Amino acid sequence: MNLLANRPAAKLNGLGNAIVVIDLRGTDVSVSAAHARAIAGSKELSFDQLMVLHEPRTPGADAFVAIYNRDGSQAGTCGNGARCAAFILARGEKREKIILETWAARLECLRKSEAVFTIDMGRPRFRWNEIPLRQPFYDTRRIELQIGPIDAPILHTPSAVNMGNPHAIFWVGDIGAYDLSKIGPMLENHPVFPERANISLARILSREHIALRVWERGAGLTAACGSAACAVVVAAARLDLTSRKAIVSLPGGDLDIEWGESNDHVLMTGPVEFEFETRLDPALFEDIAAA
């Protein structure tokens, strides 16, 4: 029997962004891409991101988190997932701070109430080879990329930023006027993004408010994406379209984002909803070699 069989798994969401958390601390059990795809394919535990908790790798951290997208690929960070992981780690304890490690970041999670957390998402990165892009763009506030006819492109000149994951943000007048389920996969896998990218459509509503829809790398259309919300405020502020603090409205709800001036760190505040806890069905892993 696979070593993941019958282990507890919690289903949560952050603004509708479906998250599953599996706590493997204290074990040598690991999760593979095939395991992640199997869990994502189950009716009960279908997710946008899977957060797998392991023993911390550095002093002071509470857990190292391996993050898997629905297609089994790994993500460097996940803002909504970080809030959900922090909620699980803080359950039953009077703790105000949880420290999570991922392969791309060290995330400080501050509990504001029982189910509201602020996540310090760290500093954004702007250099073309940090995002990364396949070729040099020396001003990533807007890069040369378009789809559609040259003289009348459907979308063009997105902002590019790495917020733990690569993001491309297209500025539009109506975020609902485009079939993101069709153009999202094409742009996610565009040759200019060697590690693929999260694709966002953003509309500036005011200096303190942005509307956002996201095609998430490895997951598809999502009700909310925390790292994209952070990326869009950073990108908008770089273009002087908004201030460094704004509300980002996604299909699943609102996130409060602030890009600090003193340390360049991006803070994301939003809720967590706990749905249920179950155990992993052994049948999910019948065709996968034991881990």
What burial letters (b/e) apply to 38-47, b meaning 16+ CB within 10 Å?
bbbebeebeb
Q: Is the distance from CB of 230 to CB of 86 less than 8 angstroms?
A: no
d(CA 275, CA 291): 28
In sequence order, which residues have a C-beta less than 8 Å from that of residue 185 and are 6 or more positions away?
Answer: 215, 220
215 pairs with which residues across the strands?
199, 221
Active-site position among 78, 84, 109, 230: 78
Cis before 132? omega within 30: yes
Residue 117 CB neighbours (<10 A): 25
d(CA 91, CA 73): 28
225 tagged catalytic: yes
d(CA 201, CA 171): 6
d(CA 188, CA 190): 6
Active-site position among 84, 109, 225, 230: 225
Tokens of 249: 């409205």
Catalytic residues: 78, 225
